Chain A
Amino acid sequence: MMLALVCATGVSAEDVAPIDALLEIEGDVAYGEYLATECTACHGGGGRIPPLAGLPREYMLSALHDYKSGVRENATMKNVAMALGDDEMAALAAFFETETP
């Protein structure tokens, strides 16, 4: 229920781990591969939603960080990022970097 409230009102940038801390975490690639199955429901068809395969880890982490904190505005991606903890972001970033575009 708390989360629902946070989601509806948006979190402030301070509630989200700083990007430097995220970059320090070593991602679990196998976990990332599982989490990535959520992403492929929207990513991979081209058009308005960009591809993720091969994205550099730093780029992925800063994008997810920015959606979560609201620096980058998109309600769909914000909702995705809201449900990801730091380890999950790190795992996703590590996995997508290994994928061939």
Chain B
Amino acid sequence: MTLNRRHFMGTGAALAAALSAPMVMGQSRPRVVVVGGGAGGATAARYIAKDSNGAIDVTLIEPSRTYYTCWFSNLYLGGVRTFDSLGHTYGALAADGINVVHDYAVGVDRDAKTVSLAGGGSLPYDRLILSPGIDFKDGAMPGWDVSAQNAMPHAYKGGSQTQLLKAQLEAMPEGGRFIMVAPPNPYRCPPGPYERVSMVANYFKYNNPTASILIVDLKEKFSKQALFEEGWQRHYSGMIERLGPDFGGANVSVNPAEMTVDIDGAVEKGDVVNVIPAMQAGRIVHQAGLTEGDWAPVNAADMSSKMDADIHILGDASAQGDMPKSGFSANSQAKVAAMAVRGALTDSRVFPAKYSNTCWSLIHAVDQPDGVKVGANYEATEEKIASTGGFISQPGEDVGLRADTYRESLAWYDAITSDMFGAA
């Protein structure tokens, strides 16, 4: 454990707390186990380890050796970002003193307070943090199950699915057709599907200009709709069509063998079909018995489960109130949980929870970057995480402001990924 110089330069209070905590080798330190090394889990592990100066024993369980971000994966589809630039490893977290275990958690025994691993064995915890992200709901889209994801990728978890969709887009015949079946609410990253449409259109515009895009969408409206529709008109006129519920979209099924989508009896064939099915909290929170319906309800003050005070659930898997399911939100929630966990296990100070989120989307990239953003602040109420107000980009903004917004998002990507995974 290397002590961080920064902390010795901090306040007397912080220093006193660090020294009063049990640091002697052999003496048992309080144990925190974190399941999932993504946006929420990596942040929580890093902040608990870093700010407790070794007073808390932190173990992070994550099957992958490299985490590929979903955020900016659409830019890779658009041809303006490499796949490698989306990858982050766990070396810096291990160097911070976190015990990184590449395994998969298969169960939680809440009475014994242990987590069991697919590789065998189990880990005891004083506090458990679950940030497993999402899984897809089986049978939610007739004709689609996880075995169909090679023919009709979702590309809604980072990594190989994103590469597969990219390869399919590149192999598409000239003048071919891309169909996206958009997900029902609630799902991770509300503007994500529509940023994806924008980036696929950006790719087509320069590589396959006669190709077309059909969005099949069961929702009445979607995130940043006015901004996306204005941008599609401006940059990709005539390329993108959206079938909403008013077109009879209430009844949608897919056929991966035929590469077709059936919309109330009208059969549409695609060269590439991107099905983003309905979502639910990652499996482990269901196994742990912490869900109500599809998601895991939490207390807004500290992200603790409403069913178990020793377990905190972060990010997409949680039902917390008004925050969108985003990487930014998961990172924000992790910092509140990390503070609460440190406060409970050592005697560090606890402050009122404060949350925020900003999500940028890129509508057009090449030559004329057109970025938009939406953001809000949140506070903890008895009932939920409640919005206290926010902002959104406006239609008709000038190109200079939109290009500047895109540059902000680039800086944000670098900042937030080092905030999660440590400086590379």
Q: List the A side residues contacting B388 at CB < 8 Å.
A: 3-4, 83
Assess whether A56 is interfacial by the CB under 8 Å rule: no
| Contact, CB under 8 Å: B389 / A49 | no
Q: List the A side residues contacting B10 at CB < 8 Å.
A: 29-30, 33, 98
Count, A-B residue pairs, CB within 8 A: 110
Q: List the A side residues contacting B412 at CB < 8 Å.
A: 41-42, 45, 49
Q: List the A side residues contacting B391 at CB < 8 Å.
A: 7-8, 75, 78-79
Cα–Cα, bound, A2→B15 (Å) = 40
Cα–Cα, bound, A53→B62 (Å) = 32
| Contact, CB under 8 Å: A83 / B377 | yes
Number of interface residues of B (CB under 8 A): 40
Q: Which of B13, B390, B408, B413 is A30 in contact with, Cβ under 8 Å?
A: B13
Assess whether B328 is interfacial by the CB under 8 Å rule: yes
Q: Given that A33-B14, A46-B414, A48-B408 are known contacts, is A79 also in contact with B9, CB under 8 Å in the complex? A: no
| Contact, CB under 8 Å: A7 / B389 | yes
Q: List the A side residues contacting B375 at CB < 8 Å.
A: 75-76, 79
B148 → chain A closest CB, angstroms: 36
Cα–Cα, bound, A46→B419 (Å) = 13
Q: Which of A8, A38, A43, A100 is B6 in contact with, Cβ under 8 Å?
A: A100
Most buried by A among B387, B408, B416: B408
Q: Which of A40, A46, A79 is B377 in contact with, Cβ under 8 Å?
A: A79
Assess whether B354 is interfacial by the CB under 8 Å rule: yes
Cα–Cα, bound, A75→B390 (Å) = 9
Number of interface residues of A (CB under 8 A): 34
Q: Which of A5, A42, A80 is B415 in contact with, Cβ under 8 Å?
A: A42
Q: Which residue of A lies closest to B377 (CB)?
A: A83
Within 8 A of B (CB), among A1-50: 3-8, 29-31, 33-35, 37-38, 40-49
A70 → chain B closest CB, angstroms: 12
Q: List the A side residues contacting B387 at CB < 8 Å.
A: 4
Q: Which residue of A lies closest to B360 (CB)?
A: A76
Q: List the B side residues contacting A99 at CB < 8 Å.
A: 6, 9
Assess whether A63 is interfacial by the CB under 8 Å rule: no
Assess whether A82 is interfacial by the CB under 8 Å rule: yes
Cα–Cα, bound, A5→B390 (Å) = 9
Q: Which of B13, B349, B389, B411 is A8 in contact with, Cβ under 8 Å?
A: B389
Assess whether B335 is interfacial by the CB under 8 Å rule: yes
| Contact, CB under 8 Å: A38 / B332 | yes
A58-101 vs B: 1/0 string, CB under 8 Å?
00000000000000000110111011000000000000001110
| Contact, CB under 8 Å: A40 / B415 | yes
B338 → chain A closest CB, angstroms: 8
| Contact, CB under 8 Å: A42 / B358 | yes
Q: Given that A49-B411, A76-B373, A82-B377 are known contacts, is A41 also in contact with B14, CB under 8 Å in the complex? A: no
Q: Which of B47, B354, B416 is A35 in contact with, Cβ under 8 Å?
A: B354
Q: Given that A6-B389, A46-B411, A82-B389 are known contacts, is A41 also in contact with B351, CB under 8 Å in the complex? A: no
B22 → chain A closest CB, angstroms: 21
Q: Given that A30-B13, A38-B335, A100-B6 are known contacts, is A47 also in contact with B414, CB under 8 Å in the complex? A: yes
B189 → chain A closest CB, angstroms: 16
Cα–Cα, bound, A7→B387 (Å) = 12
| Contact, CB under 8 Å: A79 / B358 | yes
B380-422 vs A: 1/0 string, CB under 8 Å?
0000000111110100000000001001101111111111000
Q: Which residue of B lies closest to A5 (CB)?
A: B389
Cα–Cα, bound, A5→B387 (Å) = 12
Cα–Cα, bound, A99→B332 (Å) = 21
Most buried by B among A3, A35, A37: A37
Q: Which of B9, B335, B376, B407 is A48 in contact with, Cβ under 8 Å?
A: B407
Cα–Cα, bound, A69→B410 (Å) = 26
Q: Given that A3-B388, A4-B390, A76-B408 are known contacts, is A44 also in contact with B418, CB under 8 Å in the complex? A: yes
| Contact, CB under 8 Å: B415 / A44 | yes
Q: Which residue of A lies closest to B9 (CB)?
A: A98
| Contact, CB under 8 Å: A34 / B339 | yes
Assess whether B331 is interfacial by the CB under 8 Å rule: yes
Q: List the A side residues contacting B407 at CB < 8 Å.
A: 47-48
Could you list 14 examples of A-B contacts with CB < 8 Å?
A4-B387, A34-B339, A38-B356, A42-B412, A45-B412, A47-B407, A49-B415, A75-B375, A75-B393, A76-B373, A76-B408, A79-B358, A79-B375, A83-B356
Residues of chain A whose beta carbon lies under 8 Å from any beta carbon of chain B: 3-8, 29-31, 33-35, 37-38, 40-49, 75-76, 78-80, 82-83, 98-100
| Extra A-B contacts (18), CB below 8 Å, given A42-B415, A78-B391 | A5-B389, A7-B390, A8-B391, A29-B10, A33-B11, A34-B339, A41-B356, A41-B419, A42-B416, A44-B415, A44-B419, A45-B414, A48-B410, A49-B412, A76-B358, A79-B356, A80-B377, A98-B9
